[in-house]
Amino acid sequence: MRCAVVRLSIILIFACALSLPETARAFSLKNPEQAGVAINLGSSYDPQPTFRFAQLSLMALYDYEQIMPHPAPEPLRFKLEGSLGLADDSEQHLLASANFFALYYLRNLENGHFRPYVEAGVGVAYGDFQVDGQGLRFNFNPQAGIGAEWQTQGSQRCYGALRAYHISNGNLHRDNRGINAVALQIGIFF
């Protein structure tokens, strides 16, 4: 019962915040700078036994000031990403996530065809499986990584990242055994 009350409270607070006129005007998700599709390949390393996962991701990249109503450095971007795929421990299970990231281009290291960046963010993840002591199937999903954008000889623009990946319920449930993983992302812009 306590867990259901906490979840409902979080949903209501989020809904109220989005309903405020000033907050609603601040979020402008139309016309991203870039959009892309990627595949995420990853493996957990804690707890044991480990599992692998593969997901298809869609992302949209915005100028940070387009989303957040305050001044920001020029290299800072806001990334929205949704992923859907499978986790494979001994059976295949659904693994879905929705995340937002702050992405910062490393301007001093870029050239005409290569743009490195660092990123960090959080979101939510759902898996139709649980590790021992996990507590919930709906969890938070903080991530951090390094990545780059590049252009191929055929002028296709691509991106990739290596990320540290965590899944846990943030103590919304008394059982909060987290999952730690690493993931490689490779994608193209469209």
pLDDT in tens, 168-187: 998 989 998 999 999 999 99
Instruction: Return the higher-pLDDT residue of 161 and 10.
Output: 161
Q: Is 50 helix (H, G, I), strand (E, B) or coil?
A: coil
DSSP 68: S
pLDDT reading at 7 higher than 90: no
DSSP for residue 169: -
Identify whether 69 is part of a domain: yes
The answer as to whether 26 is a domain residue is: no
> 147 in a domain, yes or no?
yes
28-71 pLDDT tens trace: 677 899 999 999 999 999 999 899 999 999 999 999 998 888 89
Q: What is the per-residue DSSP string for 83-147? A: EEEEEESSSEEEEEEEEEEEEEE-GGG-BTTEEEEEEEEEEEEEES---TT---SEEE--EEEEE
Is the residue at 92 inside a domain? yes
CA dihedral sign, ordered 185, 147, 124, 134 = positive
Q: Judge whether 42 and 183 are in contact, CB under 8 Å.
A: yes
Q: Is 0.85 surpassed by the pTM of this model?
A: no
CA distance 56 to 38: 6
Range of 45's domain?
32-189
Residue 84 lies in a domain: yes
pLDDT of residue 24: 45
pLDDT at 17: 52
Number of domains observed in the structure of the chain? 1
CA-wise closest residue to 87 among 41, 54, 130: 54
* DSSP classification of residue 140: E
Note the pLDDT of residue 189.
96
The region of weakest confidence among 6-10, 136-140, 165-169 is 6-10
Rounded Cα distance between 81 and 62, Å, is: 12
Residue 22 scores a pLDDT above 80: no
Residue 93, pLDDT > 90, answer: yes
Average model confidence (pLDDT) across the chain: 88
| From 22-26, 99-103, 114-118, 130-134, the region with the lowest mean pLDDT | 22-26
Question: What percent of the chain lies above the pLDDT cut of 70?
Answer: 85
> Using CA atoms in the order 45, 86, 177, 182, what is the torsion angle rounded to 10 degrees?
30
The answer to the question of residue 9 being in a domain is no
CATH number of the domain that residue 55 is part of: 2.40.160.20
**Inside any domain, residue 10:** no
Residues 70, 121: Cα–Cα separation, whole Å: 18
